[in-house]
Structure 1
Amino acid sequence: MSDPYKVLGVTKGASAADIKSAFRNLAKKNHPDQNPDNPKAKESFSKINNAYDILSDSEKRAQFDRGEIDSDGNPVHPGFAGNGFGGFGQNSGQRRSGASEQTHTGAGAEEILSEIFGGRGGFGRTGFGQQRSGGFGQSGFGGARSAQKGADVEGRVAVTLEDIDAGKKASVALGDGRTVAVALPKGVKDGQTIRLKGQGEPGPLGGPAGDARITVKFIPHPLFKVDGANLRYDAAIHLHEAYLGGKIQVPTLSGRINLTVPPKSNSGNTLRVPGKGLPGKSRRGDLLVTLLIQFPDQDEPDLKALMTSWAAEGRPPLKPR
């Protein structure tokens, strides 16, 4: 039979705060889930819990100090005064009628363990079930509960369109100081959140790790605008290129290409270049080139003379677009 004061390592004059602190430290160190290779861990933890059950309850503590109950909270009957726990009061040999109404001077064991290990009144593989009066009985534990999942962590990563096009992995710094590599899925969108399973905080008492939630942000590109898996590009062309047609060079993420402009192309017409967009879920997107007729900054005497002649002749009206 163990003296609860000795089990918790406190004196008989210890305050409620001292008792709670001692229990918290011992429970964290001796919990069976923290000592899976120690077959005696369950027994040791049961003693610690029983000791706290006695000393954290002001009435039970007083009964124990008077020798009315033993370290398991059981009544001490006459004839056992030689156990070293003191004499008996008028109610020796039985619990007081109010003993079932616990008067805790500090937080309950379950509450403290929930603070230590996380959870809602239970924890780990050997978590609490319904607490029995006078402690946990022989086993020291109630019904088993599954270990809890760890917390998720957040991260952000800025990527270029070139990196997405090349399928490069992005390096992400998480809030806990770790750095992980993220493979961007095909069809990834600006602002999309990618979940990395098992890359979050470790689970309490051996539970599964949480996830990492990575938010992807596209770095604005100087030439292209993203439209789903397609890329849009505005190409400036001369008037003669728009009227006569011809080939112009346009950029892509993998280099410049030649693009054929049909004759009599109007400003605002869009030409499609297949497969020169971003990787999509089912197929690669396209490059959409919008033609914008642009006049040169310097004067063009011949062009001015032609336009003046057309104006004088009265050109036919344009069709509404």
Structure 2
Amino acid sequence: MRDPYDVLGVARSAAAAEIKKAYRKLAKTWHPDQKPDDPTAKERFAEIGAAYELLSDETKRGQFDRGEIDAEGKPRFQGFAGPGAGAAGGRGQRFDYEFTPGGPFGGTRTRGAGADSDMFEEILSAFGGRRPRASAGFGGGEPPRGEDLQAEVTVPFRDWARGAKQRMRLPNGKELEVAIPAGIEPGKAIRLKGQGMPSGFGGPAGDALITVMVGADPQFTAEGKDIRVEVPITLYEAVLGAKVRVPTLDGAVEMKVPPGSDGGRTLRLRGKGVAAKDGFGDLLVALRIALPKGGDPRLTEYAEAMKANAPYEPRR
């Protein structure tokens, strides 16, 4: 490695605060996520970290200034003093950079003897997101993963209620089929591992986060894992009771309407709702009384007689 003073651009007489300030500025500038198109960024970033590690440790800095160790922390040859000669005792410990998911650029946690850990956390937390772990080529471990992709898919209501596969195109141009869990909460995201952007540093690809929205249906609406549908019935079916055909997600079925059913009454068909993980919901059937189109003179005559001879108050 080059002379650590040259790497950080400080004089040999620089105080610890000046060295820290120089490191802070350079680390932010040369973080690989800040320079994704610069192939030298990861090596430069690692070199800056190693230089700061040496100069921030008063013991190592003194040994380097006296010529006892080199820029990499290795003891310099000083005659045949026997095994263990040299205060450094071997290669200096390197920083261990660990990148974890977070903000726009990734954040870095640094471990290692002599490292100013709090300062590293403060500087590189601004890069929240992927945290490249020190590696061969990047300090000794795994390279950073690629960026996650955000996408949205709108699923037809009936496919959502029963679960289905939806074909879609991601922002990176990739086409794939997404398995939509039955009854997934609208607005919730599905994570597809490895379907995001490639790393650019040889690491794993990011993930695709697919937000699921639900399309409207002309007949059905959702109420949790239950489904509501409105069914029109005649006046005489409401009064006398009847068996009527009711639409469901799996086709029409017969349902019994009890005598004397009011308009707006809701009947329940068990197990005809959303196919949720914890069991099927129900179908809620709201009755709506429909009068004859164009009217009926006999119905009008009967209504007039009822009004005069047997009135009642439904709004009481």
Same fold? TM cut 0.5 = yes
Residues 55 and 320 of structure 1: CA distance in aligned 2, closer, same or farther (over 3 Å)? closer
Structure-2 separation of matches of 1:299 and 1:99: 97
Larger CA deviation: 191-200 vs 228-237: 191-200
Structure-2 separation of matches of 1:199 and 1:291: 47
**SS in structure 2 of the partner of residue 233 of structure 1:** strand
Structure-2 separation of matches of 1:204 and 1:140: 29
Aligned positions of 1:22-171 closer than 5 A: 46=1, 50=2, 54=6, 57=9, 108=26, 111-112=29-30, 114=32, 115-116=34-35, 127=46, 128-129=49-50, 130-132=52-54, 135-136=71-72, 142-146=94-98, 147=133, 148-171=144-167
Aligned to 1:212: 208
Equivalent residue in structure 1 for 2:180, among 181, 184, 206: 184
2:260 maps to 1:264: yes
Aligned to 2:241: 245
Q: Alpha-carbon deviation of 1:206?
A: 4.1
Higher relative strand content: 2
Aligned to 1:290: 286
**Unpaired segments ≥5 residues, structure 2:** 56-69, 75-90, 99-132, 134-143
2:221 maps to 1:303: no
Give deviations 1:159-211, integer Å, cap 9, x for gaps.
01222244321223222222332212233022222222333233463444432
**SS in structure 1 of the partner of residue 201 of structure 2:** helix
Q: Structure 2: which amino acid aligns with 1:112?
A: W
Q: Alpha-carbon deviation of 1:225?
A: 0.9
Q: Alpha-carbon deviation of 1:240?
A: 0.4
Structure-1 separation of matches of 2:28 and 2:228: 61
TM-score scaled by length of structure 1? 0.60
Aligned to 1:70: none
Structure-1 separation of matches of 2:225 and 2:95: 53
Relative contact order: is structure 1 or structure 2 higher (C-alpha 8 Å, sep ≥ 6)?
Answer: 1
Structure-2 separation of matches of 1:305 and 1:110: 88
Give deviations 1:109-145, integer Å, cap 9, x for gaps.
8843533359xxx969x94443546854567983232
Residues 154 and 140 of structure 1: CA distance in aligned 2, closer, same or farther (over 3 Å)? farther
Is contact 1:156-1:216 (8 Å) kept? yes
**SS in structure 1 of the partner of residue 277 of structure 2:** coil
**SS in structure 2 of the partner of residue 145 of structure 1:** strand
**SS in structure 2 of the partner of residue 306 of structure 1:** helix
Structure-2 separation of matches of 1:116 and 1:311: 84
Aligned to 2:171: 175
Structure-1 separation of matches of 2:10 and 2:13: 15
Is contact 2:266-2:287 (8 Å) kept? yes
Equivalent residue in structure 2 for 1:194, among 181, 190, 197: 190
Q: Structure 2: which amino acid aligns with 1:116?
A: K
Q: Alpha-carbon deviation of 1:314?
A: 3.0
Is contact 2:160-2:214 (8 Å) kept? no
Larger CA deviation: 256-265 vs 165-174: 165-174
Q: CA RMSD in A?
A: 3.7
Q: Alpha-carbon deviation of 1:56?
A: 8.7
Q: Alpha-carbon deviation of 1:272?
A: 0.7
Q: How many residues align?
A: 230
Q: Which has the larger radius of gyration?
A: 1
TM-score scaled by length of structure 2? 0.60
Is contact 2:149-2:207 (8 Å) kept? yes
Aligned to 2:229: 233
